[in-house]
Amino acid sequence: MNDIDNIDILKGVGAKSASLFLKCKVNNIKDLGEYFPRNYLAFDEPVCFNDLKPSNRAAVKVKVHSRMIIRPARRYKLCVVTVMDSEGELREIVWFNMPFLANLFHLNETFILVGNPVKGANNKLTFKHPAYYKEEEYSKLANSLQPVYPLVEGLSNKLVTKAVKQLKGYFEAKKEYLNDDYIKEQDMLALADAFWQMHFPTDLELLIKARKRMVYHEFFKFLLAMDELKENNTRSKNNFIIKEDERIHTFITNLPYDLTMAQKECFEEILSDLTGDYSMNRLVQGDVGSGKTIVAALALLTVILNGYQGAMMAPTEVLASQHYKKLKALFEPLGIKIALLTGSVKGKDKKALKEAIAKHEVDLIIGTHAIIVDSVDYNNLALVVTDEQHRFGVKQREKLAKKGDTPHVLVMSATPIPRTLAMMLYSDMDISIMKEKPANRLPIKNCVVGTNYRNAAYKFMNDEINKGHQCYVICPMVEESDRTDAENVIDYADNLKAHLPNARINYLHGKLKEDEKATILNSFSRGELDIIVSTTVIEVGIDVPNATFMMIENAESFGLASLHQLRGRVGRGDAQSYCVFIYGKENDHIKERLSVLNDSNDGFEIAMKDLELRGPGDFFGIRQSGIMNFKLADIFQDGKILVEANNHLKAMKAEGFDYTKYKELSLPKDMELSI
């Protein structure tokens, strides 16, 4: 069995199943081996309903007390069965859209129900959409950890599990590149064992060791690829004659605000690169609200005033349009021609725009990945800026190099990665750090509370709306699912309308089409909406200065860095802004972690504190979002492993380590090292 073999060679995986796996980006055997569970289920001894604790997953042995009743709801069918536990306690159990269960739950039959308890009638704990097992089936699973895979509609956990179990021989054939003593010293597993234990752990201790090895493995391959990238891409000579222009200083003087010292220092470093001997490859790492965009604007203005073209790439059309409007207002009075190129530009308009770019009738091109496709030809492109946690992979860099004579590259990131880690992750780049905030920005006032504060938060939100301000509400989920302990945007938006009937409310999530998202965000930006209920899709660079209030539900579900990024959507204007973090689960560790956000608005300080608070107990919980394309590794919770992998790789290379002997470490030329 080889890496590139299609998964339809596996028993039970036909053409239809293979197409469902493709939706999960599982194209071959290698992808399936790295398709790790999103969670693991423990099968403990069943308890009674009166012993349940809120949100703590548990099992209850029950007897069916009534036939199933099907009740229609808004978007699904409620399937309700009354059951009785060994103490005679009765509960209504609800499943969503599973009417076929009526043929399974016969009167007086016994089942084991497993799930996260929620409050039902009379505030008594019950289950919504629990897993269900026959007694003999459950007894076989007792005291084990079973994998739970990320799925798409039509693909069952049972099918994925069955397919992965056939890879045991494939895992055993993986060649080890670390010596036994080092593996033992680091308390990890051998590579082959780690792969198997990640899918089918014997116990929690081996699972933790397996995850540690797989995280190390991801970091090791990434760092090796970065070394290869540096070796193959020595610093290019600066092919552009760029001089400091007095008009830049006039432009800065005429801005309606003063640049911070951090902005001035960062621009000086960029200017030194642009006028220096070598092509710029610089990362500007600035906390949310530190004013990175104006620094990028100054860099673009510098190359344009020297007769060259500039380009700015953003991850979404909404953010690209936002940059376009801002920079158009700044640059058009100077006679600079600016254009927006995204996937939405079609037909004749697209053709005309490409012709204008090729003829240098446009000085600055702003857009999404559409600006680097093969059919876009530039005329003396000297600088490309990429925004919001995006970094070019190898393929994209090659495309950029062909767009001009090795243009300068400036990357902007709002992710406050501690400097020691950033120097490893961005080892081929120079780094500028901006911590200072503009003087007119008031510090955000924060509050960390439980769900009992929600109604008070609604009242506060209504007060902000009455002042003419706008609000965000963040939920971890898109819609109702079997995770009954988390809020979802669709139902939340409906409920919020009942609490605030006069407010203009809409919801936003990643499953919406790009044009739908753009329409909603543009309406919010124009002040036509009072509240947006959103998933973390709102995190990426949305700038609405009039938004002064944010409430984040189930705050314990997010990493501190993600929460800080989300919070950065408010506090962007002159008015006082507020952020309320509501936790759905209550324990001392959650309160301690979230209190970091209550006490600080400094992203770098928060990132460091997050590293300190992390421990093995967090290994299978929270991931930071949108930072790296790793399958398991998280640079915040796994920062120590990253440092260790970096140090050990250096030692191995000094001893003559040859990665080419290890198929597992092969580094294809099109490998995307994107952030």
d(CA 597, CA 611): 14
The torsion defined by the Cα of 586, 592, 597 and 598, in degrees rounded to 10, comes to 80
The per-residue pLDDT for 134 is 93
Q: Among the listed ranges 29-33, 315-319, 406-410, which one has the minimum average pLDDT value? A: 315-319
Task: Report the CATH number of the 246-434 domain.
Answer: 3.40.50.300
Backbone angles phi, psi at 481, to 5 degrees: -150, -170
Residue 586 reports pLDDT greater than 50? yes
Q: Which of 147-161, 387-401, 456-470, 550-564 has the highest mean pLDDT?
A: 456-470
pTM value?
0.69
User: How confident is the model over 232-236, as a mean pLDDT?
Assistant: 66
Higher pLDDT, 559 or 481: 559
Lookup result for tokens 């229609």: 72
50-91 pLDDT, tens digit each: 999 887 889 999 999 999 999 887 777 889 999 999 999 999
**Which residue spans within 453-546 are E strands per DSSP?**
470-474, 505-508, 531-534
Half-sphere exposure of 117 (CA within 13 A, CB side): 19
Q: How confident is the model at residue 209 (pLDDT cuts 50, 70, 90)?
A: very high
pLDDT (average), residues 261-278: 94
Q: Find out whether 604 and 564 touch, Cβ atoms under 8 Å.
A: no
Q: Give CA 151 to chain center in angstroms.
A: 18
- 295-308 average pLDDT score: 96
Q: CA-CA distances (angstroms) from residue 423 to 30, 272, 389, 646, 660? A: 30, 20, 15, 11, 25
Q: Compute the average pLDDT of residues 390-418.
A: 69
User: In CATH terms, are 246-434 and 445-600 the same topology?
Assistant: yes
Report in angstroms the alpha-carbon separations of 355 from 93, 309, 362, 613.
64, 14, 10, 54
Distances in Å between the Cα of 509 and the Cα atoms of 121, 517, 540 are 31, 8, 12
Tokens matching residue 39: 């969670």
Whole-angstrom CA distances from 433 to 190, 264, 286, 567 are 38, 12, 6, 20
Higher pLDDT pick, 601 / 624: 601
Cα 164 to Cα 199: distance, rounded to the nearest angstrom: 8
For the residues 546-560, what does the mean pLDDT come to?
90
pLDDT at residue 394 greater than cutoff 60:
no
Q: pLDDT confidence of 151, banded at 50, 70, 90?
A: confident
Higher pLDDT, 166 or 631: 166
Q: What is the distance between the alpha carbons of residues 569 and 553, in angstroms, rounded to a whole number?
A: 16
Q: In this structure, what token pair is assigned to residue 44?
A: 């403990």
Mean pLDDT along residues 645-650: 93
Residue 233 has pLDDT above 70, yes or no: no
The percentage of residues in the chain with a pLDDT greater than 70, rounded to a whole number, is 90
Q: What pLDDT score was predicted for residue 183?
A: 96
Domain boundaries, the chain: 1-41+156-172, 44-142, 174-232+642-675, 246-434, 445-600
Can you give the pLDDT at residue 343? 81
Please tell me the predicted confidence (pLDDT) of residue 444.
Answer: 92
Q: Taking residues 411-437, what's their average pLDDT?
A: 79
Residue-by-residue DSSP string for 133-181 = E-HHHHHHHTT-EEEE----TT--HHHHHHHHHTTHHHHHTPPP-S-HH
CA distance 4 to 27: 8
Instruction: Look at residues 300, 362, 304 and name the one whose alpha carbon lies nearest to residue 337.
Output: 362
Tell me which long-range contacts 526-531 makes (C-beta under 8 A, separation of at least 24): 527/470, 528/504, 529/470, 529/504, 529/505, 530/465, 530/470, 530/471, 530/503, 530/504, 530/505, 531/461, 531/465, 531/470, 531/471, 531/472, 531/473, 531/496, 531/500, 531/503, 531/504, 531/505, 531/506
**Banded model confidence at residue 140, pLDDT cuts 50, 70, 90:** confident
Give the residue-averaged pLDDT of 397-411.
75
Mean pLDDT, rounded, for 645-673? 78
Taking the alpha carbons at both ends of the chain, their separation in whole angstroms is 32
Confidence category of residue 485, pLDDT binned at 50, 70, 90: low
Inform me whether the pLDDT recorded for 400 exceeds 80. Answer: no
**pLDDT value for 397:** 52
Fold for the domain defined by 44-142? OB fold (Dihydrolipoamide Acetyltransferase, E2P) (2.40.50)
Q: Is the pLDDT of residue 667 over 70?
A: no
Please state which CATH class domain 445-600 belongs to: alpha beta
- Residue 634, pLDDT score: 78
